[in-house]
Protein backbone atom coordinates (compact mmCIF):
# COMPACT_ATOMS: atom_id res chain seq x y z
CA UNK A 1 0.00 0.00 0.00
CA UNK A 2 2.63 2.58 1.06
CA UNK A 3 4.91 1.75 -1.88
CA UNK A 4 2.10 2.19 -4.37
CA UNK A 5 1.00 5.49 -2.86
CA UNK A 6 4.45 7.02 -3.30
CA UNK A 7 5.07 5.68 -6.79
CA UNK A 8 5.70 8.26 -9.47
CA UNK A 9 5.49 8.04 -13.23
CA UNK A 10 8.01 10.00 -15.27
CA UNK A 11 6.46 11.85 -18.19
CA UNK A 12 8.22 13.33 -21.23
CA UNK A 13 10.22 16.47 -20.60
CA UNK A 14 9.69 19.02 -23.40
CA UNK A 15 12.50 21.30 -22.23
CA UNK A 16 15.21 18.73 -21.66
CA UNK A 17 16.53 20.36 -18.48
CA UNK A 18 13.50 19.72 -16.27
CA UNK A 19 12.18 16.40 -14.98
CA UNK A 20 8.41 16.09 -14.82
CA UNK A 21 6.95 13.30 -12.68
CA UNK A 22 3.36 12.40 -11.82
CA UNK A 23 2.30 10.64 -8.63
CA UNK A 24 -0.73 8.38 -8.15
CA UNK A 25 -2.95 11.37 -7.33
CA UNK A 26 -2.20 12.96 -10.68
CA UNK A 27 -0.09 15.76 -9.20
CA UNK A 28 2.75 16.76 -11.51
CA UNK A 29 6.04 17.31 -9.72
CA UNK A 30 8.72 19.40 -11.40
CA UNK A 31 12.29 18.64 -10.40
CA UNK A 32 14.69 21.23 -11.75
CA UNK A 33 18.13 20.12 -12.91
CA UNK A 34 20.96 22.02 -11.18
CA UNK A 35 22.17 23.54 -14.45
CA UNK A 36 18.64 24.54 -15.39
CA UNK A 37 18.05 26.09 -11.95
CA UNK A 38 21.24 28.14 -12.10
CA UNK A 39 20.41 29.16 -15.65
CA UNK A 40 16.95 30.32 -14.62
CA UNK A 41 18.38 32.38 -11.74
CA UNK A 42 21.06 33.82 -14.00
CA UNK A 43 18.54 34.68 -16.69
CA UNK A 44 16.27 36.40 -14.17
CA UNK A 45 19.19 38.40 -12.74
CA UNK A 46 20.35 39.40 -16.22
CA UNK A 47 16.84 40.49 -17.15
CA UNK A 48 16.36 42.28 -13.84
CA UNK A 49 19.69 44.09 -14.22
CA UNK A 50 18.41 45.91 -17.29
CA UNK A 51 15.29 47.24 -15.57
CA UNK A 52 16.99 49.74 -13.20
CA UNK A 53 19.22 50.80 -16.09
CA UNK A 54 16.23 51.42 -18.36
CA UNK A 55 14.31 53.28 -15.66
CA UNK A 56 17.29 55.43 -14.70
CA UNK A 57 17.86 56.18 -18.39
CA UNK A 58 14.25 57.32 -18.79
CA UNK A 59 14.78 59.54 -15.73
CA UNK A 60 17.97 60.86 -17.39
CA UNK A 61 20.08 59.64 -14.48
CA UNK A 62 21.96 57.07 -16.55
CA UNK A 63 23.25 58.20 -19.94
CA UNK A 64 24.11 55.19 -22.10
CA UNK A 65 26.59 55.56 -24.93
CA UNK A 66 24.91 54.75 -28.26
CA UNK A 67 28.07 53.35 -29.86
CA UNK A 68 28.65 50.96 -26.99
CA UNK A 69 25.12 49.56 -27.11
CA UNK A 70 25.23 49.13 -30.89
CA UNK A 71 28.27 46.90 -30.47
CA UNK A 72 26.86 45.03 -27.47
CA UNK A 73 23.60 44.24 -29.21
CA UNK A 74 25.51 42.65 -32.10
CA UNK A 75 27.88 40.68 -29.88
CA UNK A 76 25.18 39.34 -27.57
CA UNK A 77 23.21 37.99 -30.51
CA UNK A 78 26.39 36.31 -31.76
CA UNK A 79 27.19 34.98 -28.26
CA UNK A 80 23.73 33.45 -27.98
CA UNK A 81 24.28 31.60 -31.25
CA UNK A 82 27.71 30.44 -30.02
CA UNK A 83 26.28 29.01 -26.79
CA UNK A 84 23.66 27.13 -28.79
CA UNK A 85 26.31 25.80 -31.18
CA UNK A 86 28.60 24.85 -28.30
CA UNK A 87 25.78 22.96 -26.56
CA UNK A 88 25.92 25.24 -23.55
CA UNK A 89 22.33 24.54 -22.54
CA UNK A 90 18.89 25.95 -23.30
CA UNK A 91 18.58 28.19 -20.26
CA UNK A 92 22.02 29.74 -20.65
CA UNK A 93 21.16 30.58 -24.27
CA UNK A 94 17.81 32.05 -23.20
CA UNK A 95 19.54 34.21 -20.57
CA UNK A 96 22.04 35.70 -23.03
CA UNK A 97 19.34 35.96 -25.71
CA UNK A 98 17.10 37.98 -23.38
CA UNK A 99 20.05 40.26 -22.66
CA UNK A 100 20.48 40.79 -26.40
CA UNK A 101 16.86 41.93 -26.75
CA UNK A 102 17.14 44.31 -23.80
CA UNK A 103 20.45 45.65 -25.13
CA UNK A 104 18.64 46.47 -28.36
CA UNK A 105 16.02 48.38 -26.36
CA UNK A 106 18.71 50.39 -24.54
CA UNK A 107 20.40 51.05 -27.88
CA UNK A 108 17.15 52.65 -29.07
CA UNK A 109 16.81 54.64 -25.83
CA UNK A 110 20.39 55.87 -26.27
CA UNK A 111 19.32 57.94 -29.25
CA UNK A 112 17.10 60.40 -27.31
CA UNK A 113 18.39 59.76 -23.77
CA UNK A 114 22.05 58.85 -24.21
CA UNK A 115 25.18 60.86 -23.57
CA UNK A 116 26.20 63.66 -25.91
CA UNK A 117 29.79 63.16 -24.83
CA UNK A 118 30.95 61.50 -28.04
CA UNK A 119 34.51 61.86 -29.29
CA UNK A 120 36.56 60.76 -32.28
CA UNK A 121 37.95 57.97 -30.11
CA UNK A 122 34.41 56.62 -29.68
CA UNK A 123 33.78 56.77 -33.42
CA UNK A 124 36.99 54.86 -34.11
CA UNK A 125 35.95 52.20 -31.56
CA UNK A 126 32.57 51.84 -33.28
CA UNK A 127 34.11 51.55 -36.75
CA UNK A 128 36.64 48.98 -35.54
CA UNK A 129 33.91 47.04 -33.76
CA UNK A 130 31.62 46.93 -36.80
CA UNK A 131 34.53 46.05 -39.10
CA UNK A 132 35.50 43.23 -36.74
CA UNK A 133 31.92 41.96 -36.86
CA UNK A 134 32.22 41.71 -40.64
CA UNK A 135 35.40 39.68 -40.17
CA UNK A 136 33.62 37.50 -37.62
CA UNK A 137 30.83 36.85 -40.13
CA UNK A 138 33.35 35.30 -42.53
CA UNK A 139 35.10 33.09 -39.98
CA UNK A 140 34.52 29.37 -40.36
CA UNK A 141 36.32 28.43 -37.14
CA UNK A 142 33.82 28.63 -34.22
CA UNK A 143 36.58 29.11 -31.62
CA UNK A 144 38.17 31.99 -33.52
CA UNK A 145 34.69 33.43 -34.02
CA UNK A 146 33.85 33.53 -30.30
CA UNK A 147 37.30 34.94 -29.49
CA UNK A 148 36.63 37.67 -32.03
CA UNK A 149 33.20 38.36 -30.53
CA UNK A 150 34.74 38.66 -27.06
CA UNK A 151 37.33 41.10 -28.41
CA UNK A 152 34.61 43.14 -30.12
CA UNK A 153 32.58 43.27 -26.91
CA UNK A 154 35.67 44.56 -25.12
CA UNK A 155 36.00 47.27 -27.77
CA UNK A 156 32.38 48.17 -27.07
CA UNK A 157 33.31 48.95 -23.45
CA UNK A 158 35.89 51.54 -24.50
CA UNK A 159 33.50 54.46 -25.24
CA UNK A 160 31.67 53.79 -21.97
CA UNK A 161 34.94 53.56 -20.02
CA UNK A 162 36.00 56.94 -21.42
CA UNK A 163 32.58 58.49 -20.75
CA UNK A 164 32.46 57.08 -17.20
CA UNK A 165 35.90 58.54 -16.46
CA UNK A 166 34.41 62.00 -17.00
CA UNK A 167 30.83 61.21 -15.93
CA UNK A 168 31.06 58.55 -13.19
CA UNK A 169 27.41 58.94 -12.17
CA UNK A 170 26.16 58.28 -15.71
CA UNK A 171 26.10 54.49 -15.15
CA UNK A 172 23.85 52.58 -12.74
CA UNK A 173 26.02 50.56 -10.36
CA UNK A 174 22.96 48.61 -9.20
CA UNK A 175 22.28 47.48 -12.75
CA UNK A 176 25.90 46.53 -13.40
CA UNK A 177 26.18 44.59 -10.13
CA UNK A 178 23.08 42.57 -11.00
CA UNK A 179 24.49 42.02 -14.49
CA UNK A 180 27.73 40.60 -13.08
CA UNK A 181 25.82 38.34 -10.69
CA UNK A 182 23.61 37.10 -13.52
CA UNK A 183 26.60 36.25 -15.69
CA UNK A 184 28.21 34.31 -12.85
CA UNK A 185 25.08 32.18 -12.48
CA UNK A 186 24.94 31.69 -16.25
CA UNK A 187 28.57 30.57 -16.17
CA UNK A 188 27.89 27.93 -13.53
CA UNK A 189 24.74 26.88 -15.39
CA UNK A 190 26.67 25.80 -18.47
CA UNK A 191 26.38 22.11 -19.20
CA UNK A 192 29.64 21.97 -21.15
CA UNK A 193 32.71 24.12 -20.53
CA UNK A 194 34.72 25.02 -23.59
CA UNK A 195 35.93 28.16 -25.33
CA UNK A 196 32.67 28.47 -27.23
CA UNK A 197 30.55 28.57 -24.10
CA UNK A 198 32.78 30.32 -21.55
CA UNK A 199 35.12 32.89 -23.09
CA UNK A 200 32.44 35.47 -23.93
CA UNK A 201 30.73 35.28 -20.53
CA UNK A 202 34.06 35.53 -18.67
CA UNK A 203 35.13 38.49 -20.83
CA UNK A 204 31.99 40.56 -20.28
CA UNK A 205 31.96 39.74 -16.57
CA UNK A 206 35.54 40.95 -16.05
CA UNK A 207 34.93 44.04 -18.20
CA UNK A 208 31.77 44.83 -16.22
CA UNK A 209 33.61 44.53 -12.90
CA UNK A 210 36.25 46.94 -14.23
CA UNK A 211 33.50 49.40 -15.16
CA UNK A 212 32.04 49.22 -11.65
CA UNK A 213 35.47 49.79 -10.10
CA UNK A 214 36.18 52.69 -12.47
CA UNK A 215 32.89 54.38 -11.66
CA UNK A 216 33.40 53.98 -7.91
CA UNK A 217 36.97 55.27 -8.13
CA UNK A 218 35.97 58.37 -10.08
CA UNK A 219 32.99 59.05 -7.81
CA UNK A 220 35.26 58.93 -4.77
CA UNK A 221 37.72 61.23 -6.54
CA UNK A 222 35.06 63.86 -7.28
CA UNK A 223 33.62 63.57 -3.77
CA UNK A 224 37.04 64.27 -2.26
CA UNK A 225 37.78 67.30 -4.43
Domain of residue 217 covers: 34-224
Residues 127 and 27 in one domain: no
- Span 175-182, mean pLDDT? 94
Residues 52 and 94 in one domain: yes
Q: Which of 143, 138, 144, 125 is nearest to 71 (CA)?
A: 125
Residues 24 and 70 in one domain: no
> What pTM was computed for the model?
0.77
Residues 11 and 106 in one domain: no
pLDDT at 10 over 50: no
pLDDT, one tens digit per residue, over 39-78 is: 788 878 888 899 999 999 999 999 999 999 999 998 888 8
Residues 16 and 69 in one domain: no
Q: 41 with 185: CB under 8 angstroms?
A: yes
pLDDT, one tens digit per residue, over 82-141 is: 777 766 666 667 767 887 889 999 999 999 999 999 999 999 999 999 998 888 888 878
Cβ density class 112-146: b for 16+ within 10 Å, e for less: ebbbeebeeebeebbeebeebbeebeeeeeeeebb
Chain mean position to CA 128: 22
Residues 12 and 110 in one domain: no
Q: Rounded distance, CA 181 to CA 191, Å?
A: 18
> What integer pLDDT is reported at residue 138 of this predicted model?
81
Residues 28 and 71 in one domain: no
Residues 151 and 53 in one domain: yes
pLDDT at 224 over 50: yes
The residue that leads in pLDDT, 53 or 25, is 53
Residues 183 and 79 in one domain: yes
Question: How many domains is the chain partitioned into structurally?
Answer: 2
Q: Rounded distance, CA 198 to CA 143, Å?
A: 11
> What integer pLDDT is reported at residue 208 of this predicted model?
97
DSSP string, 32-49: E-HHHHHHHHHHHHHHHH
Q: Rounded distance, CA 189 to CA 40, Å?
A: 9
Amino acid sequence: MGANEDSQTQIPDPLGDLLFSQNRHGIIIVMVDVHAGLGIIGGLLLTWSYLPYIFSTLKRQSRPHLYTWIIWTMTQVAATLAIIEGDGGLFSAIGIGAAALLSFLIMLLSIPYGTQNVTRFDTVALVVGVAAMLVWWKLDNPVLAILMISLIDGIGFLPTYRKTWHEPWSESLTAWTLFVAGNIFILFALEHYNLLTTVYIVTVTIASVLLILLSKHRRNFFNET
